[in-house]
Amino acid sequence: MSGNNGAGLVRPSVQALKPYVPGEQPQGAGWIKLNTNENWFVSPSVLSAVLAAATHDLRRYPDPVCTDLRVKLSARYGIDSQQIICGNGSDELLTMLIRAIAGEGDRIAFTDPSYSLYETLSHIQNAAPVPVPLGDGWQLPVQELVAVNAPLTFITTPHAPSGTAYRLSDLEAIAAGCAGVVVFDEAYVDFGGDTAIPLLDRYPNVVVLRTMSKAFGLAGMRLGYAFGSRELIGALYRIKDSYNVDLLTQVAGCAALDAWDEYARVNHETAVRRDRVAAELHRRFGWRVWPSATNFILVEVDDADASEIVTRLKTEQILVRYFPRPRLEQSMRISVGSDAEMDLLLAALDKVVG
Ligand SMILES: Cc1ncc(COP(=O)(O)O)c(C=O)c1O
Which tens digits make up the pLDDT trace of 16-54?
999 998 999 999 899 999 999 999 999 999 999 999 999
Supply the pLDDT for residue 303. 85
**Res 8: pLDDT:** 87
Per the domain annotation, does 186 fall within a domain? yes
Same domain, 69 and 189: yes
How much distance in Å is there from the Cα of 215 to the middle of ligand 1? 11
Q: Distance between CA atoms of 324 and 345, rounded to whole angstroms? A: 22
Confidence band (pLDDT; 50, 70, 90) for 3?
A: low
Last residue of a domain, one of 214, 233, 258: 258
Identity of the amino acid at 314: K
How many angstroms is it from 210 CA to the middle of ligand 1?
8
Residues 110, 214, single domain; the answer is yes
Model confidence at 4, pLDDT cuts 50, 70, 90, reads low
Ligand 1 pocket, residues with Cβ under 6 angstroms: 37, 89-91, 115, 156, 160, 185, 187, 211, 213, 219, 224
pLDDT at 150: 98
Q: Are 184 and 207 in contact (CB under 8 A)?
A: yes
% of the chain beyond a pLDDT of 70: 98
Q: Give the pLDDT confidence of 118-170 residue by residue, as tens digits.
A: 999 999 999 999 999 999 999 999 999 999 999 999 999 999 999 999 999 99
Q: How do beta strands 84-87 and 128-133 pair?
A: unpaired
Can you give the residue range of the structural domain that contains 244? Answer: 44-258
- Arithmetic mean of pLDDT, 332-349: 97
Do both 238 and 341 map to the same domain? no
Strands 107-112 and 84-87: unpaired
Pair (219, 347) in one structural domain: no
Cα 32 to ligand 1 centre (Å): 20
Indicate which CATH number applies to the domain containing 107. 3.40.640.10
144 and 162 both lie in a single domain: yes
Mean pLDDT of all residues in 179-201: 97
Q: How far apart are CA 168 and CA 85, in angstroms?
A: 23
Q: What is the pLDDT of residue 302?
A: 86
Closest atom of ligand 1 to 87 CA is 10
The percentage of the chain sitting over the pLDDT mark of 90, rounded to a whole number, equals 94
Q: Which atom of ligand 1 is nearest to the CA of 93?
A: 11
Query: What are the pLDDT digits (tens) for 78-107?
Result: 999 999 999 999 999 999 999 999 999 999
| One domain, residues 67 and 206 | yes
Q: What is the mean pLDDT of the chain?
A: 96
| Residues counted in the chain | 354
Query: Which is the closest atom of ligand 1 to the Cα of 223?
Result: 10
Which residues have CB under 8 Å from 167's CB, separation 6+? Answer: 194
Contacts from 319-324 at CB under 8 Å and sequence distance 24+? Answer: 319/23, 319/24, 319/26, 319/31, 319/32, 319/33, 319/34, 319/35, 320/34, 320/35, 320/345, 321/23, 321/35, 321/36, 321/161, 323/113, 323/161
Summarised one tens digit per residue, pLDDT across range 195-241 is: 999 999 999 999 999 999 999 999 999 999 999 999 999 999 999 99
**Is residue 220 domain-shared with residue 143, that is, in the same domain?**
yes
Indicate whether 15 belongs to any domain.
no
- The yes-or-no verdict on residue 5 having pLDDT over 70 is no
pLDDT at 179 over 90: yes
Residue 206 CA to ligand 1 centre (angstroms): 18
Helix/strand/coil for 291: coil
pLDDT in tens, 246-302: 999 999 999 999 999 999 999 999 999 999 999 999 999 999 999 999 999 999 998
Quote the CA–CA distance of 275 and 289 in Å, as a whole number.
10
Number of folded domains that form the chain: 2
Type of residue at 70: R
Q: Do 281 and 164 share a domain, yes or no?
A: no
Same domain, 234 and 301: no
183/181 Cα distance (integer angstroms): 6
